[in-house]
A and B are shown apart, each in its own frame.
Chain A
Amino acid sequence: MPAGTGLAGDLASIVGKDHVRSDPGALAAYARDATSLFHSRPQAVVLPGSTEEVAAVLRYATARGVPVVPRGAGSNLCAGTVPLTGGIVLVLTRLNQLLEVSSEELLARAQTGVSTATLADAAAEKGLLYAPDPGSRTVSTIGGNVATCAGGLRGLKYGVTRNYVLGLEAVLPTGEVIRTGGRLWKDVAGYDLTRLLTGSEGTLAVITEATVALLPAPAETGTGVAYFDSLAAASRAVAAVIASGIVPATLEFLDRKCIDAVEEFAGLGLRGDAGALLLFGDDGSAANVAGNLAGIGDVCHENGALEVTLAESVARADALLAARRCSLPALSRLGSLTILEDATVPRHRMAEMVDRIDAIADRYDLRIATFGHAGDGNLHPTCVLDPDDGEGADRAHKAFAEIFAAAIRLDGTITGEHGVGAAKLPYLADRLGDDQVALLRRIKKAFDPAGILNPGKLGS
């Protein structure tokens, strides 16, 4: 598309006209990400091919006061890459070189646009594990994962993205290129800017390269499933499992509404009389996996499990995992407007939180089903609506405001892994308090004096 003159023309002089879009179609396509209900068109879309081009675009934008919204694959669920005040969407998919995977140093270095799965697969080829596994790993970019501190199914045992970021190359809004951290596990020289940028949601700097830690890949994985009368019973079993000294790699749950939706959609033969389904798994040496799965099964039985089944084969394990994986699509077929949130509470308060979610859903006459990560208390209450039900969407927003407030009262948070973005900014002060919000703004100002980087999000 020809870039034309004005903003697009200026950008074309930096990156070449083939890498600038300002046609209405492109602006419509980049007006949204994976978040429902948020969209706003930019004035231009630019796809730089190097760190230097990123720096030149940012220098230009700071000089002109034009907003810049960095974007990887656009798979985030917090409207983090929606250009709320227009300006430039800075798409980083051309920076897609995997620079190295080192067995000796147990690390990988990748440009920001490399997909999470590409990095993880390259590590796996060398017998290594990149542990963070966000649900969108085949789509999402490593830069986007760092910017949102993406989580995933292995959080309890392996942690999240921040636990694996060793170093970053990033471009400040004023155009300076900085390299934080590096290839070291120990390095306390200066403020930990690597951690500060991790989860900064594109509001402080544009991440152009990441160095991440790898682990030796576990030899075996195993999976099982347990049914309980209620989520409270499942929750007690989870606490008992961890108290018994086992930290499973996978501990996922579905509530009754999810089980029903999944069963109706996929016909996996799930029990219809259970109040909660707990999917558990572990990895490691064959003996460890077998021992831990048996141990988890025993603890579940002791805590009132209706039934415990261990998968005897990889195929059976995949079938069990399918129940968890197809939760969202199964729910989305009940109504194609899905609002998926990720309120998170301490593990032992999970059942209480789900009860509150159910009560709030009833009060607002909404269909909200909950699944999530039982190991780390990360819940995914999902509201399913008819896309034409505008009034229903309003009720859903009121219900989620109450859900976030309930999570905070239970010592939890408004978002465990999706990010704040535009979607949860209104609730951020409730979580952090005014003093911290003010500090966030001062930090943002120090990085971005002109306030051009992803305005209307964190630090704004």
Chain B
Amino acid sequence: MTDHDSVDHSSPCGSSGAGCAGGAPGPAPAAGTPGLGIFDKELLDRCISCGFCLPSCPTYALTGEETSSPRGRITLMRALETGDLAPDDPTLTEESSFCLGCRACETVCPAGVEYGQLLEQWRDHQWGGRDRPWIARVLMMLVSRPGLLRLQGLVRRHARGPGGKAGPRDATPAPSHPPKAPEQPVSLMLGCVERGLYPQVSRAVRRLCPEVDVPASQGCCGALHAHNGDSATGEKLARTLGGQLPGTILTTAGGCAAHLAHHLGRDRVRELSEYLDEREHRPAGQVTVDGRRARAALQDSCHLRNGLGVTRPPRELIAEVADYVELPGAGQCCGAAGTYALLRPADSRKVLDPKLTEVETADVDYVVALNPGCLRQLEQGLRRVRSRARAIHLAEFLALAAEPEPGRPDSGPGAADPREP
């Protein structure tokens, strides 16, 4: 299968006649067979097939089948690369799409396989040109054209505008522990999805971090493209955005952070929670529900956790302003996975469901997200099961602590009594 598998496997049997089965079927291309060049050989060779990734994989948990595990998918990639499987093999098509791309396997891999990179290369092949799912094609077209992005002008201004709705609220509150001044400019990235769906997130950041700039002209970071079979455009957009945003790029989306860090360098990019943590920002106030301190859980952003290794800062920030509750599956994918929730809604829900049960068991008021996709996924899921818990972005949550929402006796979820059905 792989180049290193290609050594005649019967050779260990050669020295003895102790009944080693001789003619094993199965193609075994000669050593040194050149691959098709779909994958970076170094990356593909790194996997030693130990299988340590299996228990970390959400899709393997759903099926128990090798083909939907990271190790099995790498075996499929190798078969594609060596020509053992036809380029249009339906199992290749299905498994490259069934994978969430959460990269949880990378954190348990003893050999350091960069699975996320391999998946991008795989989807470049599977989803190149007309084979890309149409939903992904439409989204990628929307976000990669500056002109079309400008159609969101209204909401974008909304996101960029002075934090908050009314003037006086922008001046307050002063953080109880003024953060250190940044050494270099910090540019807030608005995010192509977020600025449309959740403009209040960027507004909240502006309130929390008045020192950041919000450059007017900024495109998409390209993560969407990289994860949907067009890594070349993904890289190009990342570099363009790097040129548009001077200094440190501050983002409120874990997925964008990991993509930008890969192409622009880790030093250029900070996700909100790590930025606040590094600058020793101590959030002010607290989030209350019915006069008591709120109970809040976290949904890690997969690429923030598995790609960039950021796990501590968001937990500590939440714990400053609420009673933090760790969900057993906080670090596991919520099923949003970029476009996955749109492309494979049924599988996406299957991945999410155990988490919704955990939220109910934990009896929390809020589930805090670090990525707009996760936020949308949790919002929809919690609404579907009529949970009293509310999904909220970290930026909004911290802003809410600093200043309860106007018109409400306290900052509880729901308008009046959150416990009403």
Contacts and interface: CB of A to CB of B under 8 A. Distances in A.
Interface of A: 1, 21, 23-26, 28-34, 36-41, 45, 47, 73-75, 82, 84-86, 91, 93-94, 96, 113, 115, 117, 136, 138-139, 326, 328-329, 332-333, 336-338, 385, 387-388, 390, 393-394, 397-398, 400-401, 422-423, 425-430, 437, 455-456, 460
Given A47-B65, A328-B110, A38 B9 contact: yes
B339 interface: no
A29 B52 CA distance: 15
Given A25-B92, A388-B32, A326 B15 contact: no
Given A332-B46, A393-B7, 7 more contacts: A25-B91, A37-B5, A39-B9, A47-B64, A388-B4, A388-B32, A460-B21
B65 A26 contact: yes
Contact of A138 (B13, B55, B66, B86): B55
Nearest to B92: A25
Interface hub of B9, B66, B79 (most chain A Cβ within 10 A):
B66
A425 B20 contact: yes
Interface size class of B (residues with CB under 8 A): 35 or more
B67 A136 contact: no
A43 to B, nearest CB: 9
B19 A425 contact: yes
Nearest to A85: B21
B403 interface: no
Nearest to A420: B18
Given A29-B67, A40-B24, A397-B12, A139 B75 contact: no
Contacts of B21: 84-85, 422, 455-456, 460
Contacts of A328: 48, 50, 110
B25 A336 contact: no
Contacts of A332: 46, 48, 110-111
Nearest to B76: A25
A325 to B, nearest CB: 8
A328 B26 CA distance: 29
Given A32-B1, A136-B51, A401 B15 contact: yes
Contacts, number: 190
B330 interface: no
Interface of B: 1-7, 9, 11-16, 18-21, 23-26, 28, 30-32, 45-52, 54-55, 64-67, 72, 75-76, 79, 84-86, 89-92, 95, 108, 110-112
A378 to B, nearest CB: 18
Nearest to A458: B19
A460 B111 contact: no
Question: Mostly helix, strand, loop or mixed at chain B's interface?
Answer: loop
A139 B54 contact: yes
A96 B64 contact: yes
Contacts of B65: 21, 26, 29, 45, 47, 91, 93
Interface hub of B4, B85, B89 (most chain A Cβ within 10 A):
B4
B25 A41 contact: yes
Given A29-B67, A333-B112, A456-B20, A36 B13 contact: no
Given A36-B4, A85-B24, A333 B111 contact: yes
A82 B46 CA distance: 21
A82 B21 CA distance: 11
A291 B54 CA distance: 40
A139 B31 contact: no
Given A86-B25, A139-B55, A425-B18, A394 B11 contact: yes
B54 to A, nearest CB: 5
Nearest to A459: B19
B50 A25 contact: no
B204 to A, nearest CB: 36
Contacts of A34: 48-51
Given A387-B45, A394-B11, A456-B19, A29 B72 contact: yes
Contacts of B85: 24-25, 28
A336 B48 contact: yes
Contacts of B72: 29
Given A26-B66, A427-B16, A460-B19, A39 B28 contact: yes
B4 A387 contact: yes
Nearest to A328: B110
A139 B91 contact: no
A25 B4 contact: no
A139 B55 CA distance: 6
A34 B50 CA distance: 5
A102 B28 CA distance: 49
Contact of B4 (A82, A85, A336, A401): A336
Contact of B26 (A40, A45, A138, A460): A40
Contacts of B18: 425-429, 437
8 closest residue pairs by CB, A with B: A25-B91, A456-B21, A390-B31, A387-B4, A329-B110, A426-B16, A93-B64, A40-B24
B13 A28 contact: no
A401 B18 CA distance: 13
B20 A422 contact: yes
Interface hub of A28, A38, A75, A94 (most chain B Cβ within 10 A):
A28
B162 to A, nearest CB: 46
Contacts of B45: 336, 387
B385 to A, nearest CB: 26
A335 to B, nearest CB: 9
A337 B49 CA distance: 10
Contacts of A115: 55
A138 B25 contact: no
A9 B91 CA distance: 19
B16 A429 contact: yes
B55 A25 contact: no
B12 A426 contact: yes
A75 B71 CA distance: 11
Contact of A39 (B14, B26, B31, B46): B26
Contacts of B24: 40, 82, 84-85, 456
B48 A91 contact: no
A136 B52 contact: yes
B41 to A, nearest CB: 9
Contacts of B16: 426-427, 429-430
5 contacts: A31-B75, A91-B64, A337-B4, A426-B16, A429-B18
A425 B89 contact: no
Contacts of B48: 34, 36, 328, 332, 336, 338
Contact of B91 (A1, A138, A385): A1
Contacts of A82: 24
A397 B85 CA distance: 29
Contacts of A84: 21, 24
B11 A28 contact: no
